[in-house]
Amino acid sequence: MAGFCWIHPEFRELAAQHQLGDLNALLARDDGTPVSPHHRRRDIVRLELPDRSGRLTTLYLKRDWDVRWRYLARQLRYRQSLWTPARTELETLLHLAAAGVAVPRPVACVQRLGWRGQGCLILEAVPSAVTLNHYLATTLRDAGPRQREQLFAQLGRELARLHNSGVHQPRLFSTKIYLADAAADENDTPVIGFWGFRQAIRCQPLPFSYRVAGLAALLATLPGRLASVREREILFDAYLAVADLDHRGMALPQAVGRQVERLLTNRHIWEIRESDTEEHRSVRPLESVEKGQMWIDPEYRATLEHCGLASFDRMMNTVDGKLLRRLADRENWRLDLRLPEGGTRGAYLKKHHIRTPRTRVRALAHAGGGMTAGRMEAQNIARLARSGIAAMKLIAYGEKLHADGLLESFVLTEELQGYTQLDHFLERRFPPLRGDRATPRDPHLMTLIAEVASVAAKFHRLGYNHRDLYCCHFFIKETEPGEFKVNLIDLQRVEYRRHFRSRWLVKDLGQLAYSAQTDRITRTHKMAFIKRYLGVQRLRPCDKRFIRKILAKQRWIDAQVRKREKARAIPAPHTAKAAATKHCHARLGDRS
């Protein structure tokens, strides 16, 4: 069993005091504060360890419980040695520190190879360090152009020094770059450093493709609101000057741009890109109660306890509200939650209950309920919020599989106060079109259409499809005259696909086109929507083929609605709004 242990000379006394060189002791530690999402193979813990004089030292413990042999084989290929991620990051940090690149100081590293590769790396915390996106969104939010340009020029030089040292970080996202104000130089420019090198590759000289990949990963996670086109140009100019790549001055930005477009189809990239937004910050870890049957937002824990709804059974059995809809497998309720400090807050509760042969088998095998409808919607709400798409605010969700095969789940969300569903908002906010003469174009309506198109485009670009993307599932709030907020609701049936998505995109847009009110939305408005959705000024042949598919889907939905109404002997609706509302509640989308 191969082992490795390295301890920084300055921390040997602290390491001996707290067993920082003992791999088994490090893996067994349960103190500290977790700083990374739970992962069965690795985690990161923040430690506050006192030395013999009582002075606290802040350290970060990065643990790998089970290193895959695929990772070890990759290290053997590139380094001709078996290194765990802890050892890889240690060697990379020591190499970069020797090259003058700012990185966290390693304290200790231990690894063990056998049937299960395991390793631990301990790093000293960088005082006052914040990520690049956070720094740009807070400290430099009101800074002048000169100060921002100086920072981007320095960032370009530091990136070039990183690549000149022969280190390639495949995931050089903006969260892997930190700025430390505590160590600012005489020009009041913060020190720019890098961390997170568990997948780093060392190659001297660094190939051009690796440089492109690193810069693309950074710029893909750096949104335009934090870095303008001019600032990106300054970054490229500084990088090219230090990297001695002036002869590739045109090729590098073009290659990076193409790579960025490919990366922006990855939802993980968008979660990093939108990390400074209000929607992303609204997602908080939920507290588990009743042995994993229910999860509650800590902010609402006291409110649910005050209302007597802090348990799964009480939530499923509650009738203290207004029943909005009852179907064979689910119920929709509106609740008024009584706040401990007084007053009420509106919330919407979805209850799901099914019993199938599959749930009976899982109950007999004690295999759990699997992916429930309540958990699916809760996960979709959190994922979309982390990606910068406003949805509902999640209060709680729960799931339980009974011994008789009954699978129950629920999801509780906060009411969107001041919001109105899109079809109702159009009816109240904008006058109907006059058929006898041309109506002047309303700039506020065009702004609203652009906002809805942007949300739909971003939603689809992330790899999601809604399956019920009707107007009634867009909720609108006008914050100022001509300024609109758009929230997407009813995320239970949302799916994530990276490939073979065309059919589902056509279905979503066909449903949206069908439910649009013809007495307020014209063909001109629909054309403006699709151009904004596609991000083009002029339609290409492929765009026209895509539009024809959407129109064919819209006609198919209309024919199915009329066929169903005729079979039920119900007169066809006279307006598109009535048809859309009826269709939205009937969920014809399940059949398409």
End-to-end CA distance of the chain: 58
Predicted confidence (pLDDT) per residue in 325-337, tens digit: 999 999 999 999 9
Question: Are the C-beta atoms of residues 121 and 94 closer than 8 Å to each other?
Answer: no
Q: What are phi and psi of 366, to 5 degrees?
A: 55, 45
Q: Could you tell me how many residues make up the chain?
A: 592
Domain locations in the chain? 2-124, 142-276, 285-414, 420-591
What are 38-62's pLDDT values in tens digits? 677 888 999 999 988 889 999 999 9
Kindly compute the dihedral angle of the four CA atoms of residues 495, 501, 504, 505, in this order, to the nearest 10 degrees.
110
For the cut 80, the answer to whether the pLDDT of residue 319 exceeds it is: yes
Look at residue 34 and give its three-state secondary structure: strand
pLDDT given at position 54 = 86
The torsion angles phi and psi of 144, rounded to 5 degrees, stand at: -75, 165
What is the number of alpha carbons within 13 Å of residue 231 lying toward its C-beta?
Answer: 21
Q: Answer yes or no: is pLDDT of 347 > 60.
A: yes
Question: What pairs with residue 413 in β-bridges?
Answer: 348, 394
H or E element: which one contains 407?
A: strand 407-414
Token pair for 330: 């689910």
**Mean confidence (pLDDT) of the chain:** 87
**Per the structure block, which two tokens stand in for 25?**
């002791």
Q: At which residue do the structure tokens 């349960």 appear?
A: 30
Position 80 pLDDT exceeds 50: yes
Q: What are the pLDDT digits (tens) for 147-172?
A: 999 999 999 999 999 999 999 998 99
User: Quick check: 206 pLDDT over 70?
Assistant: yes
d(CA 570, CA 552): 24
User: Is the pLDDT score of 203 beyond 90?
Assistant: no
Q: Is 337 helix (H, G, I), strand (E, B) or coil?
A: strand
Lowest mean pLDDT, pick from 40-49, 349-358, 532-541: 40-49
Q: What is the pLDDT of residues 274-294, one digit of tens each?
A: 877 777 777 778 888 887 789
Output 476 or 266, whichever has higher pLDDT. Answer: 476
In the sheet that 129-131 helps form, which strands lie side by side, from edge to edge? 129-131, 177-180, 191-194
Please indicate whether the domains covering 2-124 and 420-591 agree at the CATH topology level. Answer: no
Encoded tokens for 213? 């990949």
323 pLDDT more than 90 = yes
For residue 587, the model assigns a pLDDT of 43
Can you read off the two tokens belonging to residue 244? 């001695």
Characterize the bridge pairing of strands 464-465 and 420-421.
unpaired
Measuring CA to CA, which residue among 446, 471, 456, 462 is closest to residue 506? 456
pLDDT tens for 434-454 read 765 556 678 999 999 999 999
Residue that is written with structure tokens 């020797």 in the block: 98
The distance from CA 463 to its chain's CA centroid, rounded to whole angstroms, is 12
CATH number of 420-591: 2.40.340.10, 1.10.8.590, 1.10.510.10, 1.10.3720.10?
Answer: 1.10.510.10
Average pLDDT over residues 212-234: 92
Q: Which fold has domain 2-124?
A: Phosphorylase Kinase; domain 1 (3.30.200)
- The Cα–Cα gap between 334 and 414 comes to 10
**Residue 391 to residue 406: CA distance in whole angstroms:** 30
**Structural element, H or E, at residue 99:** none
Taking the C-alpha atoms of residue 362 and residue 376, their distance in angstroms, rounded to an integer, is 18
What average pLDDT does the segment 303-319 reach? 92
The string of pLDDT tens digits covering residues 81-112 is 778 889 889 999 999 999 999 999 999 999 98
